[in-house]
Copies of this chain bind each other. A is one copy, B any other.
Amino acid sequence: MSKEELDARSMKALMTIASAWYDQMKAGDIPSISLPTRTKYNIEYDDASEVWKYGDKESLRTAATAKSATHLLKMAYVIGFVKQQLIENRSSTLREMYYISEGWKRAKFGAQDESNFLVEDLEIISDVPREGFHLRPEENGASIYGPMRIREPTRRGLKMIHCQDDVGSAGYSIPNNVENLELVDHDAKFVIAMETGGMYDRLIENGFDEEHNAILLHLKGQPARSTRRLLNRISQTWNLPILVFTDGDPWSYRIYASVAYGAIKSAHMSELLATPKAQFLGLQPSDIRDYNLPSDKLSDKDVEALNAELTDPRFATDYWKKQINLQLELGLKSEQQAFAARGLDFVTKKYLPARLSEMGVI
């Protein structure tokens, strides 16, 4: 969707909310709004889109009580603020909007959690991602390197950037809003999204992107929203396999889960933010055993997290049950850079080709 289309859709959706209130008041009714109940008891797996979404349970907020009336007042202020941003073609961070509410008298937010939550409500009601409201997150996106070209609208005009030829060795810095990024073309066979910068730099230095026509992405730990959105768009637009390569511990498996399935708090955005086709590449507990990797003992917290994953619906597959049970049995975890114990080329010359071929990717 182009910037103009997204802007128009956002404006229309927000004005629809406001005019519904106007009509309610004109008819002598108390203004209200209904929202899906946002708890894990109202999350359902949608077979068609392969993502978790909110179910049918709704709750009604009506201005009949002072508390709910204040909530609607705040929402009205946010709608007014976003409308102004759309008209002036400005944007702001969620944090800035929170501070701006200082001037909104009774609609002032008490804490940023409250304003973030309200923006999520607006995303749900309007079915527009907050990027459409020109609201940016604090955190930056990650970096990407590989045979692909993007076109990005910037203050200084449209920029066409080839993510190998036109960038430095740290790659293309993913902006915090990728809705307006055009995926122009590519010459890639698959994407590897990596947890650590050390592994990202290793693959670039070893020329893995050139040898295998691979797009390399540095997730920078738990991935930011724009990073997950870009993976989703690459998967949908170019239909490329997305492979997630992390450390071999329960916290890293959650990084994979957030790429593939999303999080409960953003379940309303799963179709935009999750990449259900993303596959877990490694580091697998069986790799620790098969490659006899340097490892550390699992801590009590690790064991607890692994046990929690055994009952987590996102890990309810034979593959994960087998791997997690194996890890509990071994009592060990390893980092992805542990492959260096076999030499700096081992990961790109042996491990990845073997694993990718086992997965049917190459």
What is the interface of chain A, defined by CB distance below 8 A to chain B? Answer: 90-93, 95-97, 99-100, 102-103, 136, 138-141, 143, 150, 152, 154-156, 159, 161, 164-176, 196-198, 201-202, 204-205, 207, 210, 218, 220, 294, 335, 337-341, 343-344
* Chain B residues in 8 Å Cβ range of A91: 205
Are A176 and B167 in contact (CB-based, < 8 A)?
no
Bound together, the chains give a CA A220 to CA B138 distance in angstroms of: 11
A interface secondary structure, majority = mixed
Additional A-B contact list (14), CB under 8 Å, known A138-B197, A138-B198, A170-B173:
A92-B340, A93-B202, A96-B202, A96-B337, A99-B339, A99-B340, A100-B341, A100-B344, A140-B143, A155-B205, A155-B210, A168-B175, A171-B173, A172-B173
Bound together, the chains give a CA A245 to CA B172 distance in angstroms of: 25
Counting from the closest, the 4 A-B pairs by CB-CB distance are: A96-B340, A170-B173, A99-B340, A93-B198
User: What is the distance, in angstroms, from A24's C-beta to the closest C-beta of chain B?
Assistant: 32
Bound together, the chains give a CA A143 to CA B204 distance in angstroms of: 19
User: What is the distance, in angstroms, from A281's C-beta to the closest C-beta of chain B?
Assistant: 19
| Cross-interface CB contact of A95 among B102, B207, B337, cutoff 8 Å | B337
Known: A198-B93, A201-B176. Contact between A159 and B154, CB under 8 A? no
Bound together, the chains give a CA A167 to CA B187 distance in angstroms of: 21
Quickly give the copy total for this chain.
2
Bound together, the chains give a CA A344 to CA B165 distance in angstroms of: 36
Bound together, the chains give a CA A124 to CA B126 distance in angstroms of: 60
19 contacts between A and B (CB under 8 A): A93-B198, A99-B337, A99-B338, A99-B339, A100-B343, A102-B294, A102-B341, A141-B170, A152-B168, A154-B168, A155-B204, A156-B164, A159-B166, A161-B167, A161-B168, A166-B166, A169-B175, A170-B175, A171-B173
User: What is the distance, in angstroms, from A33's C-beta to the closest C-beta of chain B?
Assistant: 27
User: What is the distance, in angstroms, from A115's C-beta to the closest C-beta of chain B?
Assistant: 12
* Chain B residues in 8 Å Cβ range of A138: 196-198
Across the interface, name the chain B residue whose C-beta is closest to A165. B156
Are B152 and A159 in contact (CB-based, < 8 A)?
no
Known: A152-B169, A176-B197. Contact between A103 and B139, CB under 8 A? no
Bound together, the chains give a CA A62 to CA B15 distance in angstroms of: 78
Known: A96-B340, A141-B170, A168-B172. Contact between A201 and B136, CB under 8 A? yes
